[in-house]
C-alpha cells in the first residue's frame, strides 16, 4: 500500500514542508492511504520496534517497511520522513544496527580510531549552524539549520555504504536530494563541479589539531553527479536527527562512491568551473582519486576491492560479500560515466 506515498511530493521537492502535503489533485482514496501510513509510521516509531524485526517485517510484506517503523525510542529528536520514490533509494539488504552505525565511524576531525567519533564527537555544536552555498550560483545562500530542515520533504533512503577500507553497512538515512538544495541557489552555466567543505574547528574537534589530513575536509563531485537524485543531503538516520559522529547536522551521502566522498558536518558548498582536489587526493594521490566510484575490479594499491565485510554480520571469519560495481547502483548511475575508462578515472 504505501508505495505511492512519495511520488507526489517528490514532484514538489521545494514545497517548504517537512511533512508531505496532500495535493488538491490527489484522489481521496490515495490521500487517505497516505495519512493512514503516516499515522502507522508515527505510532510504530514511538513504539520503538527493534531493528532486528526488520528482516521479519520484510519477509511478511511485499513492499519494504519504513525504517521509521524501526526508529529507536527517543534517543534523539525524531525526524519524520516518508519512503523515497527515487529509483534505487530503498535497498532491501538487512539494515546495520543503530549501534554499529553510530560506534564504528570514520570522522578524522575526532580521531582516527573507529571508536573515536562516538567517544569525542559530543563536543560538536550543531546549533546554530549555517550552510553557505556560493561560487557559480545566481543566488548565493546562507541557510540556517531550521531553514534547511524545511527546505525539502524528508525522505527515508536505505543505502549501502562501502568504505574504501573494505567494510560496508546498510544505513536508513533521512534527508532529501542535494539537487533540491542546489537548485535553490540557481547554478550558473559555468558551474561544472561542486565542492563540499566540512567544519574544521579545533575547539570542538580535537582531531583537527593533528596533521593527518589538510583541514578542512574537502570533497567534490561533478555537477551532474551532485544533481543525481540518489545524491542525498542527510539530516538523520533511523528516523532521528543525525548523531554527531555520523556528521550532524547535515552530511552528504553518495551511495555509489567510496564512503570518503560523503563529507560530514558541511558548512560550505561551492560551485566551481574547475575541480579542486579533495583532502584525500592531497593526502595520497596514488591511493585516492577524484571519482572514487565503487569498483571491485580496481584494487586499492594496498588491498583488493573485490569483496567487503558487512559490519555486524558474523565475526572476522564470516565470509566476505562480493563488492558490486557502483556499489550496486549501476542501473541508476552508470550512464554518468558512459565512454569513460573507469580504471583510469578512478
Ligand atoms: N568531514 C569528514 N567527513 C567524512 C570523513 C571524515 O573523516 N571527515 N570520513 C569519511 C569516510 S572514510 C567514511 S567511510 C564515511 C563514514 O560515515 P559514517 O561514519 O557515518 O558511517 O564518512 C566520510 N566522511
Ligand atoms: Mo571510508
Distance 308 CA to ligand 1 centre (A): 17
Distance 32 CA to ligand 2 centre (A): 42
Q: Strand 251-253 and strand 232-237: pairing? A: antiparallel
pLDDT for res 318: 85
pLDDT for res 36: 36
* Cis peptide upstream of residue 128 (ω within 30 degrees of 0): yes
pLDDT for res 317: 81
Distance, CA of 232 to CA of 174 (rounded, Å)? 9
Q: Is the CB of 260 under 6 A from ligand 1?
A: yes
Tell me phi and psi for residue 311, to 5 degrees: -60, 130
Q: Is the CB of 262 under 6 A from ligand 1?
A: yes
Distance 7 CA to ligand 2 centre (A): 32
Distance 163 CA to ligand 2 centre (A): 4
Q: Is the CB of 263 under 6 A from ligand 1?
A: yes
Distance 299 CA to ligand 2 centre (A): 15
- Grid coordinates representing 98? 543503530
Distance 23 CA to ligand 1 centre (A): 38
Q: Mean pLDDT over residues 17-38, rounded?
A: 31
Query: In this predicted model, what pLDDT tens digit does every residue of 229-285 receive, in sequence order?
Result: 999 999 999 999 999 999 999 999 999 999 999 999 999 999 999 999 999 999 999
- Closest-CA residue, ligand 1 atom 7, reads 107
Distance 283 CA to ligand 2 centre (A): 14
pLDDT for res 74: 60
Fold of 79-332: Sulfite Oxidase; Chain A, domain 2 (3.90.420)
* Cis peptide upstream of residue 143 (ω within 30 degrees of 0): no
Q: Which atom of ligand 1 is nearest to the CA of 199?
A: 1
Q: Is the CB of 219 under 6 A from ligand 1?
A: no
Q: Is the CB of 264 under 6 A from ligand 1?
A: yes
> Hey, which of 103, 107, 166 would you mutate to test ligand 1's pocket, going by the most ligand atoms within 8 Å of its Cβ?
107
Per-residue pLDDT band for 127 (boundaries 50, 70, 90) equals: very high
Q: Is the CB of 163 under 6 A from ligand 1?
A: yes
- Closest-CA residue, ligand 1 atom 16, reads 106
Q: Is the CB of 160 under 6 A from ligand 1?
A: no
User: Could you tell me the sign of the dihedral formed by the alpha carbons of 216, 219, 222, 226, in that order?
Assistant: negative
Distance 164 CA to ligand 2 centre (A): 5
**Domains of the chain, residue spans:** 79-332
Q: Strand 307-310 and strand 167-177: pairing? A: parallel
Residues with CB under 5 Å of ion ligand 2 are 106, 163, 259-260
> Hey, which of 247, 257, 284 would you mutate to test ligand 1's pocket, going by the most ligand atoms within 8 Å of its Cβ?
247
Q: Is the CB of 294 under 6 A from ligand 1?
A: no
pTM (two decimals): 0.82
Query: In this predicted model, what pLDDT tens digit does every residue of 73-109 receive, in sequence order?
Result: 568 999 999 999 999 999 999 999 999 999 999 999 9
Query: In this predicted model, what pLDDT tens digit does every residue of 42-59 receive, in sequence order?
Result: 333 333 333 333 333 333
Distance 34 CA to ligand 1 centre (A): 35
Give CA 129 to chain center in angstroms.
19
Per-residue pLDDT band for 35 (boundaries 50, 70, 90) equals: very low
Strand-pairing partners, residue 198, are: 266
Amino acid at each position: 500500500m504505501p508505495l505511492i506515498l512519495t511520488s507526489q511530493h517528490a514532484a514538489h521537492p521545494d514545497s517548504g514542508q517537512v511533512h508531505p502535503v496532500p495535493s488538491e489533485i490527489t484522489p481521496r482514496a490515495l490521500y487517505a492511504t497516505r495519512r493512514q501510513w503516516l499515522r502507522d509510521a508515527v505510532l510504530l516509531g514511538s513504539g520503538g520496534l527493534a531493528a532486528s524485526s526488520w528482516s521479519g517485517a520484510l519477509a511478511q510484506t511485499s513492499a519494504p517497511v519504513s525504517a521509521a517503523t524501526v526508529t529507536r525510542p527517543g534517543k534523539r529528536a525524531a525526524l519524520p520522513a516518508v519512503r523515497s520514490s527515487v529509483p534505487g533509494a530503498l535497498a532491501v539488504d538487512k539494515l546495520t544496527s543503530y549501534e554499529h552505525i553510530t560506534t564504528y565511524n570514520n570522522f578524522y576531525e575526532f580521531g582516527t580510531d573507529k571508536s573515536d567519533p562516538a567517544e569525542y564527537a559530543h563536543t560538536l555544536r550543531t546549533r546554530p549552524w549555517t550552510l553557505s552555498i556560493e561560487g557559480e550560483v545566481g543566488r548565493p545562500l546562507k541557510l540556517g539549520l531550521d531553514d534547511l530542515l524545511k527546505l525539502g520533504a524528508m525522505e527515508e533512503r536505505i543505502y549501502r555504504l562501502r568504505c574504501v577500507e573494505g567494510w560496508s553497512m546498510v544505513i536508513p538515512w533521512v534527508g532529501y536530494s542535494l539537487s533540491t538544495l542546489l537548485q535553490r541557489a540557481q547554478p550558473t552555466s559555468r558551474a561544472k563541479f561542486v565542492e563540499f567543505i566540512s567544519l574544521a574547528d579545533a575547539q570542538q574537534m580535537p582531531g583537527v589539531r593533528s596533521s593527518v589530513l589538510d583541514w578542512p575536509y574537502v570533497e567534490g563531485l561533478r555537477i551532474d553527479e551532485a544533481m543525481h537524485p540518489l545524491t542525498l543531503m542527510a539530516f538523520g538516520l533511523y528516523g532521528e536527527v543525525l548523531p554527531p559522529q555520523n556528521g550532524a547536522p547535515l552530511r552528504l551521502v553518495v551511495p555509489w562512491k567510496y564512503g570518503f566522498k560523503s563529507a560530514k558536518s558541511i558548512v560550505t558548498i561551492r560551485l566551481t568551473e574547475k575541480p579542486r582536489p579533495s583532502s584525500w587526493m592531497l593526502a595520497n594521490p596514488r591511493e585516492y582519486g577524484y571519482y572514487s566510484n565503487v569498483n571491485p575490479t580496481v584494487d586499492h594499491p594496498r588491498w583488493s576491492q573485490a569483496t567487503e565485510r558487512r559490519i555486524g554480520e558474523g565475526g572476522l571469519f564470516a565470509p566476505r560479500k562480493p563488492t558490486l560495481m557502483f556499489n550496486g547502483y549501476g542501473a541508476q548511475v552508470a550512464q554518468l560515466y558512459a565512454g569513460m575508462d573507469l580504471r583510469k578515472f578512478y
